Amino acid sequence: MKNAKSFEISKQLVWEAFKRVKENRGTSGIDDVTIADFEKNLKSNLYKIWNRMSSGCYLPSPVKLVEIPKSNGGTRPLGIPTVEDRVAQMVVVMTIEPFIEPHFHADSYAYRKNKSAHDALETARSRSYTFHWVVDLDIKGFFDNIDHDLLIKALERHVTSKWAMMYIKRWLAVPYQVKDGSQVQRNKGVPQGSVIGPILANLFLHYVFDEWMKRNHSNLSFERYADDTIVHCVSLKQAEFIKKAIQKRLADCKLELNETKTKIVYCKKNHREIEHECIQFDFLGYTFRPRRAIDVHGEVFLNFSPAISKSARTKIWKTIREWNHHYWVQLTLEEIAKQINPVIQGWINYYGKYNIKVLKNILQRINLKLSRWVRNKFKGFRKFKTKAIYRLGDIALAKPNLFAHWTWGAKPTASPRNRKRLAA
């Protein structure tokens, strides 16, 4: 037939893929076309993607390379495809995911429906109480060092669609493009920031780590969220053994264990008095360490539990510092709340899962920032920090649900007069 296509790809699938890409938002690629720009001629743009993918002539653009600062002072390379490529990648993800997802390990939590980081944290918390040793693993430059041949071999076990495999291979081969327009050729790795990257990375570690553990060390429990992984052990000897075994396994799969960041941790609690140099680890933005707690009988004991990590706390404080209080002078408190509440609620939803007192103390920084609004807005408060806080506290009494952290319980201190009135 004259209009026959090489591959059967439905227009509805392309449309659904675009809707998912739009939900995920994201910035523009090398063509500087945003999602809003793409939508201006949406029907034509989606038809173009469908037509070229169905004909087998879709060629991806280079990936924009952006260096993201890391908390330790280094940078993480982020590869940002064009909106057009993100839609095309989502078409492939939606096609291959049903054939791959059912095979993933129960303790693989990242990028999966009905699983979350909180699920991984809860399992880690429970197991850290039962098992006294943890191997906290760190793979050096994981996303940048995924071997393409091994990845394709893993894909071929699940993906029967010829066109999906063809496009995946093209995306793996496209170069990075840096600020000056020059290009960096790639022969390994999956760009962080790509739509297809998560499922490819997950599948790679499924065979490199999850299945290997299941075959060779099924007596050991672990939680893996992308490349963030911890393994639970019953003794130091077992922890040292599995660390060496994992190191060899990764080397066999052309990956490297980061020796400076990988550590063996003793989950210190009341009933064990073993001395070990490392008694805490970070996992998914939480620090697990010994903490004083009170049992149902009022007795103080030492527990091993999670709370927001120092690096996550620092990021929150950095965000709060960057909020422009000079610009806020032009706004009402209601307008400020509308701007920052989604961010605050996101912090509460994620970091308020465990040890909420720590997070409440952190969010008091927002109240200090808001008190600057009071001082800048009203002349009578400019030289009086404490009075500004009290004024904000009085507002919180009158409008307790104005800010997300006020609703949650991290309110500023009200004036002594109003506190007495409440106490009465």
**Most distant CA pair in the chain: distance in Å?**
86
Classified as helix, coil or strand, 77 is strand
Q: Judge whether 292 lies within some domain.
A: no
Q: Judge whether 273 lies within some domain.
A: no
pLDDT of residue 49: 96
Residue that is last in its domain, among 266, 298, 319: 266
User: What DSSP line would sit under 231-261, residue for residue?
Assistant: EEESSHHHHHHHHHHHHHHHHHTT--B-TTT
Q: Judge whether 283 lies within some domain.
A: no
Q: Are residues 238 and 332 in the same domain?
A: no
Rounded to whole angstroms, the Cα distance separating 132 from 290 reads: 12
Q: Judge whether 282 lies within some domain.
A: no
Q: Are residues 148 and 20 in the same domain?
A: yes
Nearest to 239 by CA among 195, 278, 289, 200: 278
Residue that is last in its domain, among 231, 266, 301: 266
Query: What is the pairing mode between strands 176-177 and 63-69?
Result: parallel
- Residue 357 in contact with residue 413, Cβ under 8 Å? no
First to last CA, the chain: 86
- 5 burial type by CB count under 10 A (0-12 exposed, 13-18 middle, 19+ buried): middle
Residue that is last in its domain, among 266, 286, 321: 266
Q: Are residues 348 and 415 in the same domain?
A: yes
Rounded to whole angstroms, the Cα distance separating 90 from 96 reads: 10
Rounded to whole angstroms, the Cα distance separating 150 from 163 reads: 19
Q: Are residues 336 and 406 in the same domain?
A: yes
Q: Judge whether 299 lies within some domain.
A: no
Q: Judge whether 232 lies within some domain.
A: yes
Other CB atoms within a 10 A radius of the CB of residue 118 amount to 15
Domain count, the chain: 2
pLDDT of residue 415: 80
Rounded to whole angstroms, the Cα distance separating 58 from 89 reads: 11
Other CB atoms within a 10 A radius of the CB of residue 420 amount to 10
Q: Judge whether 3 lies within some domain.
A: no
pLDDT of residue 205: 98
pLDDT of residue 420: 65
Q: Are residues 257 and 317 in the same domain?
A: no
Q: Judge whether 280 lies within some domain.
A: no
pLDDT tens digit at each of 424 positions of the chain: 455 578 899 999 999 999 999 999 888 999 999 999 999 999 999 999 999 999 999 999 999 998 887 766 677 888 999 999 999 999 999 999 999 999 999 999 999 989 999 999 999 999 999 999 999 999 999 999 999 999 999 999 999 999 999 999 999 999 999 888 899 898 999 988 899 999 999 999 999 999 999 999 999 999 999 999 999 999 999 999 999 999 999 999 999 999 999 999 999 887 566 788 899 999 999 999 998 877 778 787 788 999 999 999 999 999 999 998 788 888 999 999 999 999 999 999 999 999 999 999 999 999 999 998 888 888 777 777 888 888 899 899 889 999 999 999 998 887 877 666 655 5
Classified as helix, coil or strand, 404 is helix
Rounded to whole angstroms, the Cα distance separating 28 from 44 reads: 19
Single-letter amino acid, residue 122: E
Rounded to whole angstroms, the Cα distance separating 424 from 413 reads: 17
Q: Are residues 107 and 196 in the same domain?
A: yes
Q: Are residues 139 and 211 in the same domain?
A: yes
Q: Are residues 316 and 242 in the same domain?
A: no
Write out the residue range of the structural domain in which residue 182 sits.
11-266
C-alpha 234: how far from chain center: 29
Q: Are residues 169 and 51 in the same domain?
A: yes
Q: Are residues 238 and 323 in the same domain?
A: no
Nearest to 104 by CA among 209, 232, 249: 209
Q: Are residues 142 and 48 in the same domain?
A: yes
Structure tokens of 197? 């990257």
- Residue 44 in contact with residue 82, Cβ under 8 Å? no
pLDDT of residue 416: 78
Other CB atoms within a 10 A radius of the CB of residue 386 amount to 11
Q: Are residues 219 and 354 in the same domain?
A: no
Q: CATH number, domain at 249?
A: 3.90.1850.10
